[in-house]
Amino acid sequence: MTIKNSTCFQHIWVSTDDKRIAIEAQKYGATVHRRPEKFARDDTPSLHAISEFLDVHRSIQDFALFQCTSVFLKTKYIQEAVRKFESHDCVFAAKRSHYLRWKVVDGELMPAEFNLSARPRRQDWQGDIVETGMFYFSRRKLVDSGLLQNSRCSIVEIAAKDSLEIDSSYDLTLAKYILSSETKSEL
């Protein structure tokens, strides 16, 4: 409904091989794209599913993928993405991360991005940019070359409280808790 209410799109499709999802999608005014089972496996990358969709819908040049695992999508994020998409090849949802990341190189632990003798403070750096998975605006020309993004990308920064992506039952519990604690005006 958030996508529909944004009034930003000519068409809203739900790509699925599942009858129950198809019924729900139609109930809320989306058009169903019957995704072939071989593109609907647990290990099917989204890019393959997008490519299959674009192969069937040849007139579509530009598109936005919304992942239903990000349940705190807001109209303001969609509108910002639409604005930025006018001057970029792709726009995706991202958040800032201020975690100090480490990596193992040849069996040795070392900082991924920071200097041990000058540990950054949150206040002193803008943080890493991390995809939240909420959405990806992109173009057929990129998908045709096997990409979803290129160097002419922009991001929409998602507030930490909206950035949860449901990947596990713990995430689902968290999402239910956040939803029950949000006031109606915030939704």
Ligand X SMILES: CC(=O)N[C@H]1[C@H]([C@H](O)[C@H](O)CO)O[C@](O)(C(=O)O)C[C@@H]1O
Catalytic residues: 119
Minimum CB distance to ligand X, residue 178 (Å):
18
Nearer to ligand X, 22 or 66 (CB): 66
CB of residue 153 to ligand X, shortest distance in Å: 13
> Taking the alpha carbons of 120, 121, 126, 131 in that order, is the dihedral positive or negative?
positive
* Closest CB 50 distance from ligand X, rounded Å: 8
Using the rule CB under 6 A, is 67 a contact of ligand X? Answer: yes
Say how many residues touch ligand X, by CB under 6 A: 9
Please pick, from the candidates 128, 157, 165, 171, the single residue that binds ligand X as defined by CB under 6 A: 165
- Name the helix (H) or strand (E) containing 48: helix 46-56
- The amino acid that residue 30 corresponds to is A
Which residue has the CB atom at the shortest distance from ligand X?
133
CA–CA dist 63, 65 (Å, integer)? 7
Site string for ligand X, 128-157 (x = CB under 6 A): ---x-x--x-----------x---------
CA 187 to CA 139: how far, in whole Å?
30
Parallel/antiparallel/unpaired status of strands 31-34 and 108-111: unpaired
Name residues contacting ligand X, limited to 31-50 (CB under 6 A).
Answer: 45-46
Interacting residues with ligand X between 81 and 110 (CB under 6 A): none
Tell me which amino acid residue 151 is.
S
46 versus 173: smaller Cβ distance to ligand X: 46
The 8-class DSSP code of residue 115 comes to B
Q: Which is nearer to ligand X, 30 or 64 (CB)?
A: 64
State how far the Cα of 130 lies from the Cα of 114, in Å rounded to an integer: 17
Q: Give the Cα separation of 40 and 54 in Å (integer).
A: 15
Q: DSSP letter for 112, please.
A: S
Cβ closest to ligand X, residue 62 vs residue 186: 62
Instruction: Indicate the length of the chain as a whole number.
Output: 187
The DSSP secondary-structure symbol of 160 reads: G
- For residue 70, the minimal CB distance to ligand X (Å) is 8
Q: Which residues bind ligand X (CB under 6 A)?
A: 45-46, 65, 67, 131, 133, 136, 148, 165
